[in-house]
Amino acid sequence: MKRKPAGRKPARRAAKRKPAAARKPTRKAPANAAPAQQPLQRSEGFIPAPPPRKGGCPECGSRNIRMDPYRGESVCGACGSVVAESLIDVTQEWRAFDDDQRSRRVRTGAVLTPTKHDQGITTEIGKGRGELFKVSSKKRAQYYRLTKWHKRLIKSRDRNLSFALSELQRLVSLLTLSKAIHEKVAKLYQQAVNKGLVRGRSTESIIAALLYTTCREEGAPRTLDEISKASGINKKDIGKTYRYIARKLRIRILPAKAQDYVPRFGSLLSLSEKVQVKAVDVLDEAAKRDVTSGKGPIGVAAAALYIAAVLSGEKKTQREVADVIGVTEVTIRNRYKEMVETLGIKDEVEERVKEEELLKA
Ligand SMILES: [Zn+2]
């Protein structure tokens, strides 16, 4: 009989005691309390709540459980039994009518962020020397030592991290990367520090390598050239660190997609969106026919942009494209040839090129 005394008692007792009284109001409740139907909070005051049951209502098994915010109860919508009572109200209980009040009443700070070395929360024991004299003279020496050692410990632990994160901040703004990438790299860097992978390698090279991986993962790839230029670390070092870190942190390195490069290269070349869309179409088509597999995505993207620009009447020369993107003309020429031949648009493209040249001459 008494298999689960602690967990089920309240619900049963409530169900027996209340049905007649509780049913009526709770049937009505959904009309005025509809927005409060949030995921169920099953805490009952300070008594640990019974573990949430998968079936919903312990009496009839219905999943239709409703919150009654005025009574602090959750009630089964099918049989009216009270599933949990004395729920804790987790909503904000204060109001503020202007900024001043808000800043005085609010008890929380900004959101935690991995992009700051202390996640945006700083602990400081006492502000400055003046605080020292607020303590009794007996405790003053102890208090002073506490402050001193706290500062020393915090500093030595965070020095490296805060240096690394400011370098990251610099690269992120230089390369105009998203916040998502910024936070991801910051987290990865902290993982690398915790695993002791940073020892013996320069902080800058690790940040650069992580940035390279993450940009690629997030579909906003930057070329090794760009990252190398921005960070001042040579490409070989970035590559080496990148392979090491990826192996140790078990990051799977997916090859970057040529399509991901199109929007950025497109705007570097000041090509219209129409051309960029066209270039992606060309790339999709080429991928279907397997022309691009195994080829470097940067060269492929460059060639596709060249083709799309010609076909849309915004012609750039292969030299121009090569210079802006940072690949050789030969690469573009080769990728271009393979693509137009396979897609059967060679004549069309070459005719357009001739037309444009005639117009210029
Ligand atoms: Zn029920």
Q: What is the DSSP letter of 66?
A: E
Report pLDDT for 158: 73
How many angstroms separate the alpha carbon of residue 83 from the centre of ligand 1?
8
How many angstroms separate the alpha carbon of residue 85 from the centre of ligand 1?
15
How many angstroms separate the alpha carbon of residue 256 from the centre of ligand 1?
53
How many angstroms separate the alpha carbon of residue 44 from the centre of ligand 1?
19
Residue 248: closest CA among 192, 316, 322: 192
How many angstroms separate the alpha carbon of residue 23 from the centre of ligand 1?
11
Helical residues (DSSP H) of 67-200, grouped into ranges? 99-105, 137-174, 179-194
How many angstroms separate the alpha carbon of residue 271 from the centre of ligand 1?
63
Report pLDDT for 155: 67
Report pLDDT for 18: 44
How many angstroms separate the alpha carbon of residue 39 from the centre of ligand 1?
17
Residue 121 pLDDT exceeds 60: yes
Looking at the chain, the domain(s) classified CATH 1.10.472.10 span 116-254, 258-360
Please give all residues whose CB falls under 5 A of ion ligand 1, grouped by chain where several chains appear.
57, 59-60, 62, 76, 78-79, 81
Domain range 116-254, its CATH number among 3.30.420.40, 1.10.472.10, 3.10.400.10, 1.10.1740.10: 1.10.472.10
Say what angle helices 329-343 and 297-311 make with each other, to 10 degrees.
Answer: 60
Report pLDDT for 54: 54
Q: How confident is the model at residue 128 (pLDDT cuts 50, 70, 90)?
A: low
DSSP codes joined into one string, 146-175: HHHHHHHHHHHHHHHHHHHHHHHHHHHHHT
How many angstroms separate the alpha carbon of residue 75 from the centre of ligand 1?
8
How many angstroms separate the alpha carbon of residue 17 from the centre of ligand 1?
15
Residue 20 pLDDT exceeds 60: no
Residue 47 pLDDT exceeds 60: no
Report pLDDT for 40: 44
- Strands of 73-76's sheet, edge to edge? 65-68, 73-76, 82-84
Architecture of domain 258-360: Orthogonal Bundle (1.10)
Report pLDDT for 125: 75
Least confident of 57-71, 102-116, 275-289: 102-116
Q: What is the dihedral of CA 212, 215, 217, 220, to 10 degrees?
A: -140
The mean pLDDT value for 178-184 works out to: 92
The mean pLDDT value for 114-121 works out to: 77
How many angstroms separate the alpha carbon of residue 74 from the centre of ligand 1?
11
Distance (Å, whole) CA 271 – CA 324: 12
How many angstroms separate the alpha carbon of residue 76 from the centre of ligand 1?
5
Classify strands 82-84 and 73-76 as parallel, antiparallel or unpaired: antiparallel
Residue 170 pLDDT exceeds 90: yes
How many angstroms separate the alpha carbon of residue 47 from the centre of ligand 1?
22
Which of the listed ranges 15-19, 21-25, 107-111, 162-166 does the model predict with the highest average pLDDT? 162-166
Distance (Å, whole) CA 274 – CA 281: 11
Write out the two tokens for 96: 């503020």
Write out pLDDT tens, residues 198-229.
888 888 999 999 999 899 888 888 888 889 99
Least confident of 17-26, 87-96, 263-272, 299-308: 17-26
Among residues of the chain, what percentage have pLDDT more than 70? 82
Which of the listed ranges 5-9, 15-19, 114-118, 329-333 does the model predict with the highest average pLDDT? 329-333
Which of the listed ranges 12-16, 157-161, 255-259, 343-347 does the model predict with the highest average pLDDT? 343-347
Write out the two tokens for 289: 């026919």
How many angstroms separate the alpha carbon of residue 90 from the centre of ligand 1?
25
How many angstroms separate the alpha carbon of residue 280 from the centre of ligand 1?
55
Report pLDDT for 270: 92
Mean pLDDT of the chain: 80
